[in-house]
Amino acid sequence: MVIALPVFIESLTMSQTPDLECRAISKSFDDFKAVKDVSFSVPQGTFFSILGPSGCGKTTLLRMIAGFQKPTSGDLLIKGNSVLEVPPNKRPVSMVFQHLALFPMMNIGANVGFGLRQRGVNKTDIKQQVERVLERVGLGGVADRPVASLSGGQKQRVAIARCMVLEPDVLLLDEPLGALDLKLREHMKIELKQLQSEFNTTFVYITHDQSEALVMSDQIAVMNHGVFEQLGTAKELYYEPSTAFVAGFVGEANRFAATVESVNGTDVQMITDQGKALRGVDAGQGVQRGDSVDVFVRPEAVRLSRDVSQTGQLGNGGAGRVENILFNGANSQLILRDQASGAEMNIAMPQTGEFRDLTQGDVIAYGWEPQQTRVYSSARGRHGL
C-alpha cells in the first residue's frame, strides 16, 4: 500500500496533464498582432472548438500548434512537454487542412499510409493498419482507388483517417466542413462528433460557424481580434455570454443600445436610445448609473399574447405591429415594430400553432422577463456624469 501510493498519485496526475496547453501565446506579423496572449488547456479526449469570425486569428493559432508558425512569445505544451523547439514533422499532432490537402498523386491507401511509411513501418503492417482505419471511418476496401473518385464527405473521412492512423495526441481541424454543401455539412457535424468519441482523441476544431461549434464541442472558446473572449461549454456561451461580442456572435439576439437609469444589485433599469424603459441583469461587468450599455435578448425568450395583461406583468415588453413573418418551418421568425418606441424586435414564432393566423400589419402584445435580458457596458463609454 505504502509503495503503491506514489504510483497512484503519479498516475492520477498523469491523467490530469492536459493533452494541449497554451500559455500566453502571441503572434505578431510585423506590427500587427494576430494572436494576443491566449492561454488555455485541453484535457484528454475533449472536443475543443475555437469559434470566431474570419480574420480573428484562428488559423494562425492552429498553425502555431501544428508547428508551421513560431509564436512571438508564450509557451506551448503537448502532454506536459514544451514543443516550441520541435519541428512540425516531429510533433505528436496532426492536422486536417481546410481543403483537406489529400495527395492527388497517390491512391487512397497510399495517402492514409503516408505517415506510417515515413515512420518506417513495414509494408504488410501498413496495409493492415490502413485497411483497419479506413474501415473505422466507414470506407473499407477503397484503398486502391484514386482520391478523385471519392465524394466530398468521403474525402473528409479519408483526411481524418490519414491523421488518425498515426494516433496523434491532438488532432487539429481547420474549418474542414467549409468546402462542403449545407446538407452534407449538417451530416458531417454529427459524424465528426461520433468519430471523435469513437477514437477518443483530443480534437481542436476551428470554425466561424457557430452551429458547428455548438453541436459538436465539449468546450468552446470564442475568439475575436486575436483574444479569447470567453471559454466554456456550449450552454454557458449561449445562456451566460460574458461579453457583448459573445452575446451577439453566438446564437441570435435582439440588441438595444441603452443608458442605465438605476442599479440595484444585479438588477438594472435602463432606457433605450429610442426611449423604451427596460429592466435587465448585469452580465457581470458592474455597470453603473449613467453608463452606456448594450442589451441583448434572445428571440425565443420573448412571449407573444393577444392579451396585453398577460405579457404586461413580465417586466419588459409592449405592443408591436407585425412587420414581417419569415416562415422557415420550426425556425420561423416574426419581425415586430414596437408601437411606442419604433424599435424592431426579432421574435421566434411559438410552435404551438396559436399564432399561425398572424399576418402582416396585425398588432400584438409581447414581453419578456428581466432575467432574460443581459446588460453589458458598451464600448461607447459613459453618457453624462
- Provide the binding-site residues for ligand ADP, judged by CB under 6 A: 29, 34, 52, 54-60
Nearer to other proteins, 67 or 317 (CB): 67
Q: Does 68 bind other proteins (CB under 8 A)?
A: yes
Q: Does 166 bind other proteins (CB under 8 A)?
A: yes
Q: Helix axis angle, 108-118 relative to 152-164, nearest 10°?
A: 20
Q: How many CB atoms neighbour CB 385 within 10 A?
A: 7
Provide the minimum distance between the beta carbon of 262 and other proteins in the complex, in angstroms, as a whole number. 56
Interface pick for other proteins out of 49, 94, 156, 207 (rule CB under 8 A): 94
Q: Does 89 bind other proteins (CB under 8 A)?
A: yes
Total residue length of the chain = 385
CA distances from 20 to 16, 143, 233, 309 (A): 11, 32, 18, 55
Provide the minimum distance between the beta carbon of 109 and other proteins in the complex, in angstroms, as a whole number. 14
- Nine-digit cell at 336? 415586430
Cα separation, 284 vs 246, whole angstroms? 13
Say how many residues touch Mg ion, by CB under 5 A. 1
Provide the minimum distance between the beta carbon of 329 and other proteins in the complex, in angstroms, as a whole number. 38
Q: How many CB atoms neighbour CB 153 within 10 A?
A: 17
Nearer to ligand ADP, 197 or 211 (CB): 211
Strand partners, 259: 271, 292
- Name every residue whose Cβ is closer than 8 Å to that of residue 297 and which is 6 or more positions away in sequence: 253, 254, 256, 316, 368, 372, 373, 374
Give the interface segment with other proteins, choosing from 30-38, 161-169, 193-201, 339-347 (CB under 8 A): 161-169
Q: Helix axis angle, 123-136 relative to 108-118, nearest 10°?
A: 120
Q: Does 161 bind other proteins (CB under 8 A)?
A: no
Contact code string over 194-213 relative to other proteins, x by CB under 8 A: --------------------
Interface pick for Mg ion out of 20, 35, 48, 59 (rule CB under 5 A): 59
Residue numbers at the binding site for other proteins (CB under 8 A): 66-68, 87-90, 93-95, 97-99, 101, 103-106, 114-115, 118-119, 162-163, 166
Residue numbers at the binding site for Mg ion (CB under 5 A): 59
